[in-house]
Amino acid sequence: MTEQRLTRSPVPTGFNLILPPGWGKIDLHDEVVNDSILALVDRSIDELPNDLPRDDVSKVRMELFKQLRKAARKASKANGMMLYLPVERVHGSVVPASFVVSEPISATGAGFHSDQVFTGVAEGRGESETVTVDGATATRIERIVPPPERSEIQFPSRRVEYMLPLPGSPFPRWLAIAFSTVGDGKPDSEYSSALVNLFDAIMMTFRWSYE
């Protein structure tokens, strides 16, 4: 189980969710991000064959740190505060998926209701639906995004985003949790759908935490 603090009462102080086996998290706050990455690198390195030459282990360790650091920077630039991703291999390969929890977003316009926020955010971003998370109404948005131009990414990604209103907040404030996977290169394949279903299952374990 993982927890991240958000703010003080009377609104939630954080949240809890249950990760699948083999998944880990990176705290994107500058003062601890490298420690979080190194902890995941150590977990991944522990899975390597014991007879692997030390030089090869060092190379794998350095390359993995670079990859995770790059992913962390990208998530941080997108206002992320926590990055969750698989760190243990399945049948020799790392699962191509991750999700980011963003810093809580605020909207302070007079008479501005959370439903209006959700409608504005969801518009034009893909197929949206109303779902229930931790006993409260939330919005789920799903879409397929083509690979960026002049990017090393070759395949489209399938993305799912949950928008959760912060309970007890005196003004509209919500948490965005965004999942992305390239799956097996086909966003509508059974494998990609299985990864999306896994993320939806993770979101069903989401619970706000209070002091």
Q: Give me the DSSP letters along 81-138.
A: EEEEEE-S-BTTB---EEEEEEPPEE---TT--HHHHHHHHHTTSSEEEEEEETTEEE
What would the pLDDT profile of 133-162 be if each residue is shown by its tens digit? 999 999 999 999 988 776 677 788 999 999
What would the pLDDT profile of 59-94 be if each residue is shown by its tens digit? 878 888 888 999 999 999 988 999 999 987 766 677
Domains and CATH numbers, the chain: 2-209 (3.40.1000.10)
Overall pTM > 0.75: yes
